[in-house]
Each structure stands twice: as structure tokens, then as C-alpha cells.
Chains A and B, each alone.
Chain A
Amino acid sequence: MTVSIWGVGTSMFGRQPARLPAQLAWDAIQEALEDAAVDGVDAAYVGTVFGAPGVAQRALSGVGITGIPIITVENACASGTTAFHEAHAAIAAGRYERVLALGIEQMSTLFDGPITPETTDSEQASGLLLPALYALSASRYMADYGMTLSDLAQVAVKNSRHGSLNPRAQRRRAVTEEEILSSRPIAEPLTLFQCAGLSDAAAAAVLGHERRDDRDVAIRASALKSGLAWDQASKHVWGFDVVADTSAIAYAQAGLGPDDIDVVELHDAFTIGELVTAEALGLAAPGQGASLVRSGEASLGGRRPINPSGGLLSRGHPLGATGLAQIAEITWQLRGEAGPRQVQGARTGLVETMGGGASGIDGNGCVVTILGG
């Protein structure tokens, strides 16, 4: 039996140190429950990376959700979609009727700039920040494919234009290529405007079996994988293979291919991430991600928009909340509720989230979900 999304909700995105994590979550939970037209759920899966112990129970009990199984999961940047993936699996297995998937993250009270290195990890202990990891991929793409600084900047140009139409995004101003390239260098070739902002937010979805409600959005596929070993024997840059492998599972589950997808929300924590991921998802041939963006195909109004929400680059990247914010965006798109950033006629959407951090593997976790159709 098909599992559907009944409702979605999010808080505002941005630096909100004066709000408690639970308060951010209340906005998302209440909007999702109202959207789903339910007054409770049978279980909750909650994704968070830096959330304090009990953050899920504190958030849920505050809005009267008590006495149910609550499972908290951590999968780096893919924590929210991992919670979604597990909620989907639990309903498909018949364990529950209605499940809440929730992502919560408050970053601004913990970090000033990039996430500080995890001192027990071999590469992070050597001073490798996540922007530097992505910068290394960009360096390789420039050597392998002749990718230019302008190619990278065009991703941020596009996503900032999309983000200017998203009232919940952290950055809501369209920026030019010149502004992007002249913003502060972080890890060459990546500049500040090519890095997703440090952000606080929560996002949620209510899942259940298919109802006779045309606002429900069918979940056609959900796949989750962690990366294989990544080292000198790997053919691609970091993170490519795990996205390709996870999406292959999702496409097979849905009986669909890249050409059947109308709209995509993917993991653009850094500009290079969008290019590598678009290729790994089969939306462009290897090395052709940049021309996909430059041609306008990936823009609103183009053949298959990528990150109509503005992506992580505009919305901000509160780790645990990101995946469910992507799910919310595709849900709004497929219902025709996305307002000025609506992708006309969108019927089938894809969400991809990629979490990294443990060195030696091709990503801690990747989730690919196909919705609608």
C-alpha cells in the first residue's frame, strides 16, 4: 500500500539564538499537523545532529505529543531525511498509522562560522573543515573538466534568485556573479556566498497510508545508504558514488528515471555540491552539471528546476532540519502551493540529502526520495 505525505510544516530559517530549539520545532509540528488535518500521531522519528539529549521529547511534549514511541536519529546533514525514511518504512511495515518525521537544529548558539572539526576524526583532526572537503572536489573538477569560477558562481546566482522568492529563506536577496566571487574566500575556490549559511530551524512532515485526499503526496520511493570506502581507488570525487548508488535504488523502486522528474531539491551546502550531485543523480553527464545550470534548464521556468526553494545556499542549513525542509518544498510544489516559485505542472519531484563528516568513506549517509507522480 502506498505511503503518503499528509502534511508538512517548517519554522522560519535563519539565526534565531533567542528561540529555544523546542520553540522552533513547535512552529513546524503545528503547521504539519494542521496541514495533515490530524490532532496526533502514533510515533515520531526525529533527526538532529547537535541537538541536546532529550531535544525531541522536549519539543514534542510542549505541544502535547506524549506517550508515543520517539526515536531520535543522527546522520549528519541527512538526519532529517533519515527520520523521514524511517517513518516511511515504519508505516509501510504496518507498525503505525500516522507518523511524524521532524528535524530540529539550532546552530547559532554553538558555532560562529564553519562547524568546528570533530577531533576524533582523522581528517577533521588535520584541519579539514566541510567547506574544505567540498573545495577539494571543486579543485579536482577544475582540473578534470575545465570547470571555471564562473561555473561555480552561477549555481549561487540561480539559487539566490530562487531564494529571493522564498519568504522563509535565510538569504532572500538575489546576488550577482561578481558579488559571489568577491565575497570572502573560505576554502579556495569557494567563497562565502558559495557556502550555505549557519541557520536555526525545524521542519516536519506527517506520513500515513494513502487517503482519499488530493492534497496528499504519494511517496514513490525512499532509499538510504552510507558511503563505501572513499580513497585512491575511487573513480569520482567524494560523495558522487553514494548519491549515484542511492538514486539508482530510488529510481528502481519508483520505476522512474531522471527524465521523469519535474522538480528537484538537492544538497547544495556548497555550490560544487549541486554540480556533482546533479551529475550523480543522472540529471547531467559527468562534467556537464555546469552547463545544466548555465543553460537555464535548472532555473525556475526551465525544463527541470533544481532547488526552486533557493536550496541550502539560500534557505540556510540547519543540519537536522534541512532534509524535511526539502521534503516540504517538494510537497508544496507538487500540490501547486509554492506561490511565486511554483514549477508549473510539476507532477513528480525528487529530494536528495547528503551527509558527510566521517573520513575514509564516501559520505555518512545519503537519502533519495521520489514523490508524487
Chain B
Amino acid sequence: MNSLPPASKKLDALADPRPVIIQAGQHHLLDGRSCQACGHAIALQLPLCPRCRGPVEPAQFGPRGVIWALTVVHVPARPDDKVPYTLAYVDLDQGPRLLASVAPTDATVEVGSSVALTALSALGDPTVEVAP
């Protein structure tokens, strides 16, 4: 009877609750859901629409979007976080709001900046980079 995982088991060894990012050609897209009843765009692969409880179908969003809000975080949330790191809510074009890491850049990043989905961060987080 040794089936329970140790309490200290790392996140990547458990079911991952984060939004799913896929690569499509040169682009990265969010693999989410779209509501068949109200058309709402959903970041997570949920079984029903969180707004109207309508049926959903697979839908891909991105790669482009706009920063809705952002913060530079100075305390590590997880043991492997390297501070400071930037987190943003990104409204993907015709898509859902996504919490994403902002890839380090010398460019100015602010509310309203255009960004695009890119490869997952080293910790596996959805990530955006400043888009021209």
C-alpha cells in the first residue's frame, strides 16, 4: 500500500491545471473552448460554458493579443521562480483573457501593448512576447 504520491511531489508530475498552448506552424495558439450557444471564448478546456452553461467545442485562439493589465512580481511564487518576473492578463484577439508570463525584453511593456503567444516558459507557463 504505497500508492499515495509524496506530499512534496512537483507540479510537473501532477495533472496540470494551466491553459493548454499548442504549436501550429510558426505560431503558438491557446487550445481552449468556444461556447456553441453564446459564442463565449473560454481559456480552459471546460465541459460547459462558465457564462451560460451551453455546450462547448474545441477552439484555438491567438497568437496575437493585447495586454489588459500587468505586474512585475518580486517574490517567488514557486521555488524555481526567478524574480523579478512579469505577469499579464492578455486579451487574445477574438479570444479569451489569459494569464501569461511576459518574456523578458528591453522593449516597453504596458497596458495596451501588442503581444503574441510564444513557447511556454521554462516553468511551463503560457508566455507572450512583445509583438511588432
Q: Decide if A136 touches B89 in the complex (CB within 8 Å).
A: yes
**Beyond A126-B100, A187-B75, 13 additional pairs, beta carbon < 8 A:** A127-B101, A132-B71, A132-B73, A136-B71, A136-B87, A136-B88, A139-B70, A140-B68, A140-B69, A142-B111, A232-B97, A233-B40, A360-B44
- A254 within 8 Å of B by Cβ? no
Question: Which residues of chain A are within 8 angstroms of B70 by Cβ–Cβ distance?
Answer: 136, 139
Q: Which residues of A contact B99 (CB under 8 A)?
A: 122-123, 126, 128, 359
Chain A interfacial positions (CB closer than 8 Å to B):
113-114, 116-117, 119-129, 131-132, 135-140, 142-143, 184-190, 228-229, 231-233, 237, 359-361
- Chain B residue nearest in CB terms to A143: B111
* Contact of A232 with B71 in the complex, beta carbons under 8 Å: no
Tell me, rounded to whole Å, the shortest Cβ–Cβ distance linking B89 to chain A: 6
Report Cα–Cα, A136/B84, bound state, in Å.
15
Q: Determine if B50 is an interface residue (Cβ-Cβ < 8 Å).
A: yes
With an 8 A cutoff between CB atoms, is B18 at the interface?
A: yes
With a cutoff of 8 Å between Cβ atoms, the chain B residues found around residue A129 in the complex are 73, 75, 77
Bound form: Cα–Cα A187–B71 in Å? 6
Q: How far is the CB of A124 from chain B (nearest CB, A)?
A: 8
Number of A-B contacts (CB under 8 A): 115
Q: What is the interface residue range for chain B against chain A?
A: 35 or more
Contact A119 B14, CB 8 Å, known A127-B85, A232-B41: yes
Are B123 and A127 within 8 A (Cβ)?
yes
* Closest B residue by C-beta to A230: B97
User: With A140-B68, A188-B72 in contact, do A125 and B11 touch (Cβ < 8 Å)?
Assistant: yes
Q: B106: CB under 8 A from chain A?
A: no
Q: Are A136 and B69 in contact, with the CB atoms below 8 A?
A: yes
Verify B74–A185 contact, CB threshold 8 A.
Answer: yes
What distance in Å separates the Cβ of B44 from its nearest Cβ neighbour in chain A?
A: 6
Binary contact readout B45-89 vs A (1 if CB under 8 angstroms, 0 otherwise): 000001100000000000000001111111101100100110111
A117: which of B77, B89, B97 is its contact (CB, 8 Å)?
B77
CB distance from B127 to the nearest CB of A (A): 10
